[in-house]
Structure 1
Amino acid sequence: MTDHAHSSAGFPEPSAPKPKAAPKTNLLYSEKFRAIIYQVVLIAVVIGIGFFLVSNTLANLAARGIQSGYGFLDVRAGFDIGEALIDYTNDDTYGRALLVGILNTIKVAFFGIILATIVGVIMGIARLSSNWLVAKFASIYVEVLRNIPLLLHLFFIYGVLINILPRPRDSWTLFPGVFLSNRGLKYPVMAEDPIWLWVLIAMLVGAIGAYFLARRADQKQAETGNRPKTLLPSLGLIFGLGIVVWFIGGAPTEVNAPELRGFNFRGGQSLSPEFLALLLGLTIYTSAFIAEIVRSGIQAVNYGQTEAAKAVGLNPGNTLRLVVLPQALRVIIPPITSQYLNLTKNSSLAIAIGYPDLVSVGNTALNQSGQAIEIIAVFMTVYLSLSLITSLFMNWYNGRIALTER
């Protein structure tokens, strides 16, 4: 019998089962709700502790008659700074003195990162050399220098520069017009002229043009498989524009060269023994760690890549430059970023040898003004900012060289 027959015979049709209602859950047993509650409570506790510390600190400062705030930055500093990238006298303010210290810190960190990278890459590659003597020298360099505290590096190098290098009268002539003595490195510079600023701007414009030229070459290579040569056109853009502006500005050639007068040199530019000791110490110490990172990054690349490069006729130099290093960079970049951050923060040890970096200048300002909290906050803000800028740049670069699926 059919279902229709059953229905017509008076049998009721079976009804579909009703869906069961979802059980009501208590919010206290909801994992998401409890997570929100925990975060709100944690934030409230942190805010409460912060409020207590700030209010307690302000009350203690007021009880001792110490004014808080950054108004002291406009007060006359009254102390000299031996080395500055900008004009500074003891009649300038605490704010300008701290700016001098910040610029000195950026200066040594910038050149230290560049030199440490160059030396570290060379030593890292040398550790894998087939030449026994080169490999052993690189191994000794790494194992010895990275296991000696940085402060001892600074004391040793500074002692050598001060006590072993000759006096200015007997200085070593490294190149014509370049002299090295226990007063530092003296070298000639072009005489001041407004045209040099425009030359620098023209070269920066040329560098931007070279960047877009390289981008265009990348697109051409992706479309055709052939990459146009960009080295000479890029150099032409960068230096050619600068030379054109230099000619338009009258082509000045006057040089400000150092000359020995009395007991010291006059004229030109100089790098102080303190700066040289700090730069060399940071470079040597950090390069030993970078060398190990480079070595491990190269060894992380499958050896089959090297065999494939040899099979197509690439020599060892081109194999390393075109095949191994581009792949090793994906392993090298993250840990090398940490070394850059360490180098920047380690520059605060400059106070031990008298280089006027941020910490050195800030400590002098702190002792005179008594604004300890404000100046320590400046230290924290500056080093945090430099670290974040370095990390952002390195993360951007790491993203550009990362492998992407097609």
Structure 2
Amino acid sequence: MKLPPLDPTDPAGLDDLLTEDEKEIRSAVRQVLDASVEPYIAEWFEQGSIPDIRSLTRELGSLGVLGMHLEGYGCAGMSATEYGVACLEIEATDSGLRSLVSVQGSLAMFAIWRWGSEEQKQQWLPGMAAGELIGCFGLTEPDAGSDPSSLTTRARRDGSDWILDGRKLWISNAPFADVAVVWAQTDEGIRGFIVPADTPGFSAPEIKHKLSLRASATGELVLDGVRLPDSAVFPEVRGLKGPLACLNEARFGIVWGALGAARSSLEVARTYAKDRVQFGKPIAAFQLTQQKLVNMSLEYTKGYLLALHLGRRKDAGKLRPEQVSLGKLNNVREALEICRTARTILGANGISLEYPVIRHQNNLESVLTYEGTVEMHTLVLGQVLTGESAFR
């Protein structure tokens, strides 16, 4: 039997590992992004905003990618692997866009879906799945990042109501969110609250002057005597298991998403190297350039196999948080190195927004540290390997 030629964009034949449904989802997401986002994303990054965010979220809702791995309440009910494949395609366009989808579906929506009352789910999830309502997730504070147990936002009872005071920082989607999931200290431990954005005392000023994730709105959450009814609190969950379960969902999407930025940069570098002529021949003909391309392709392939393995484990109900840390640590770190290497192949053109490489590289500098820094995921895995905790 004569074997078909190798595809230079997929030399390991990774495509054979996907089901037809997974391939169809990939194609559907790619088609929408190519038409609605790709022609404009560099401009959005440069100007630091998405002009018509509501139109975009509604289109993403129609596509079914908002909370796509959740069941019921207007959510698509797709598998974890299908969600991962979608995240890869979204981040191949831009990490900021994947952040919007992750925060909406894997943080805000998942928190309500997993921990909310039936009334809370019915009130918020259908509109969020459709992209009509936008959510954000308030955990990080000015002095509480990697150590969420030290958060100082406080909720106290006042009769049958709750009063919230505090600040959250570096909150994606905050400036245009309709609803915020806010985690606060109480006399009963850390609890989660659903805060409508129009509640008196609540504001979400935008953080400006970012050089990363510029096509993603980031802000503070300011809670100044915010009064909420008892129906706004998640009824049962107490302690850090509430927010940490949500973070684990988001990290899974990052395991896949970072590969999208890597794939985009790798393919641009490969094509550029074939076209760029120096010393009378394409730079792709030089050994050092080929070494760079091979190493990039090798690390992408290994990262993809890891993401797919973790996706299959998640779909089988066997995925542990420590395994998500393994995927996040490896795939973001290697994706960033792929983008940096691709930048060297493009030379001076690598810093131009005419190509996506520097945009992906800058974005991944944020992805490297949000949802758990390299240090935190290293210590998680170090504890697995040694049985010793080195966090304190």
Q: TM-score, normalised by structure 1?
A: 0.25
- Structure with higher strand content: 2
- Structure with higher helix content: 1
- Give the number of the structure with larger relative contact order, counting CA–CA contacts within 8 Å between residues 6 or more apart: 1
